[in-house]
Chains A and B, each alone.
Chain A
Amino acid sequence: MISEARRQKAMEIIRGFPQKSSAVIPLLHLWQDEEGYLSDDAIAEVAEIMGMPPAEVQEVVSFYSMFHRRPLGRYHIEVCRSLSCALMGGRDILDHLRRRLGVGLNEPTPDGLFSVGAVECLARCDLAPVGQVNLEYTDRLTPEGVDRLLADLRARAEGGGAGA
């Protein structure tokens, strides 16, 4: 069931475009922002509002790397693996994180708190190695800094705080 508030937001997004087709990616963002990932239901709901077959919405979803069909951790930590960051040790940071958390890419920890993603150049290469936590930038990553980051996020989660 689509909540009335969300339907309103969706209608407002659609009205903002000269043609309705443009709204599909913004709507998928809206659903993913609020639900954390895109479930089958989410795709069916977006398809219904867009007046598109769900299979077509799924085609769009599968093309874009930022749309996730499975839940991620509450804190999704992404590390850039592109050249400028790699030259400054970015890939070592990625390995360090995965070892620390014992997870594969885009796979949440058993407590659901964390997941790790590898991303390409985030356009902040001057602060290499660069990452994002729930799409907010974090930079000049070091193994010790990443350990502190994990501890901080864990404390925040236990303190009942909201997202990153």
Chain B
Amino acid sequence: MPEGGAATAFEPVLFKDIDTPELYRRQVYEAHEGYAALRRALGGEGSERMTPEAVLEEVRVSNLRGRGGAGFPTARKWQFLPPPDGGPRYLVCNADESEPGTFKDHEILRKNPHMLIEGMILAGYAMRATRGFIYLRGEFAQPKRVVDAAIREAYEAGYLGRDILGSGFDFDLSTYLGAGAYICGEETALLDSLEGKRGFPRLRPPFPAVAGLYGRPTVVNNVETLANVPAIVRRGGAWFASLGTERSGGTKIFSISGRVARPGNYEYPMGTPLRVLLYEAAGGPLPGRAFKAVIPGGGSAGLLVPSQFDLPMDFEPIAQAGSMLGSAGVIVMDDSTCMVRAATWLMEFYADESCGKCTPCREGTKWLEMALERIETGRGTPDDLELLQGLPGQILGNTFCGLGDAAVGFLMSAVRHFWPEFEAHVAEGRCPSGGDGR
């Protein structure tokens, strides 16, 4: 949490106890209201058991929206599941966290895995799924060990397995380690990967709610989304809703990185102005520097400029400003940053990570990467400039999955706000900022 006293007063949800030593151990988590929501819902100590519908209703009232990027209302996603038919249905936690500039799920996984596990059991109960998976990206071997140990503890305590807390509800949970592929964060590619295939996005419909893992009804939710569920059940959906904005309940973890004094994860209410995050939480620019542009929602989001810093960080206002809240990975650039270089670095990423399934994404990102590289190294031509103005618009909305849109988000906004920088690179045959290139 920010040093020097935060001016914004609110009740943290996800990071309430995050700096408690050994919070990842079950007993420590339990000493901080851990598994109280599960005990309340599934009945234990005398209190009335909640029905699955009652748990779902709290989540609906809470206005919880997906934290994986799209902001889809969580209860509505669960309600898309068809009525139980006696066969298996699955809950998959998306712990792929590969969006450049996003590092919030990692902190939950390594410091408070039980909060996620409790959230998954409650979510499983609400949607009558009896098997859960946590899909971790391959690079998360370290957090995986923490989560695996927590899952073992939860089994030992009877929170996982058969007849949980005497409720008759069964839920099994295990982790799964990916093997390096950004596209596997996309939920249908993730399901293919979990089935043991290459991670290609699937054609929709059918949606995973109808035909997901092994062709069975499946819900995929982000780590942070699921980690909010225990507090919603414990304190009530109305309480959670009241923390946020009219359309987005709760708080949000903002991952702030790049050219900023105090990078880190900061929990703030939904709708907090970007300026508060940048100055109150992250301590403003690096000494002697000035902010130039900020990506509000991970590498896939368009940039915002300082005149837009009073925008509330919520899904709709950021979308209306031509960007997206996305994963809330806030990447900060300052007056030492060359925008052409930043665009080149990002395009390299998307060109490498394009799964190759559809042409506009596979070819388009390669063309843009090559044009940007030429411009950035002083070998760019007017044709390259023209390509930057025309091609992104042809990729946008024309690819099989969201990766194509993600690839052009930053470039299109950089072209809009910083076009003279691109032109100057071509005219002068070098980077006009002449800075350290960062």
Which chain A residues have a beta carbon within 8 Å of chain B's beta carbons? 16, 18-19, 21-26, 28-29, 59-60, 63-67, 81-84, 86-89, 91, 119-128, 132, 135-137
Contacts and interface: CB of A to CB of B under 8 A. Distances in A.
Contact of A126 (B264, B295, B438): B264
Contacts of B196: 21-25, 60
B180 interface: yes
A132 to B, nearest CB: 7
B174 A120 contact: no
B99 A121 contact: yes
B345 A135 contact: no
Interface string B139-183: 111100000000000000000000000000000001011111110
B98 A121 contact: yes
Contact of A83 (B181, B258, B265): B258
Q: Which 4 A-B pairs have the closest CB atoms?
A: A66-B180, A64-B179, A65-B180, A125-B257
Given A25-B179, A125-B263, A128-B257, 6 more contacts: A64-B199, A87-B259, A91-B345, A123-B140, A128-B258, A136-B142
B142 A135 contact: yes
Contacts of B342: 83, 86-87
Contact of B180 (A59, A64, A86): A64
23 contacts: A18-B131, A18-B214, A63-B198, A64-B178, A64-B181, A66-B180, A82-B100, A82-B101, A84-B100, A86-B438, A120-B98, A120-B353, A123-B103, A123-B106, A123-B139, A124-B103, A125-B100, A126-B264, A128-B257, A132-B139, A135-B142, A136-B141, A136-B142
A136 B142 CA distance: 7
Contacts of B438: 86-89
A124 B329 CA distance: 11
Contacts of B138: 29, 64, 66
A22 B141 contact: no
Contact of A25 (B98, B193, B264, B331): B193
B88 A29 contact: no
A30 B295 CA distance: 38
B195 interface: yes
A83 B142 contact: no
B79 interface: no
B197 interface: yes
Contacts of B267: none
Contacts of B106: 123-124
B195 A84 contact: no
Nearest to B143: A123
Contact of B194 (A22, A81, A87, A89): A22
A82 B102 contact: no
Interface in B338-359: 342, 345-346, 348-349, 352-353
A120 B349 contact: yes
A67 B180 CA distance: 8
Interface string B367-410: 00000000000000000000000000000000000000000000
Contact of B103 (A25, A120, A125): A125
Contacts of B74: none
Nearest to B334: A87
A84 B101 CA distance: 6
Interface centre among A23, A66, A132, A137 (most CB of B within 10 A): A66
B222 interface: no
B331 A84 contact: yes
Nearest to B295: A83
A137 B142 contact: yes
A86 B76 CA distance: 39
Contacts of B98: 120-121, 123
Contacts of B259: 87-88
B405 to A, nearest CB: 17
A121 B345 contact: no
A137 B97 CA distance: 16
B212 interface: no
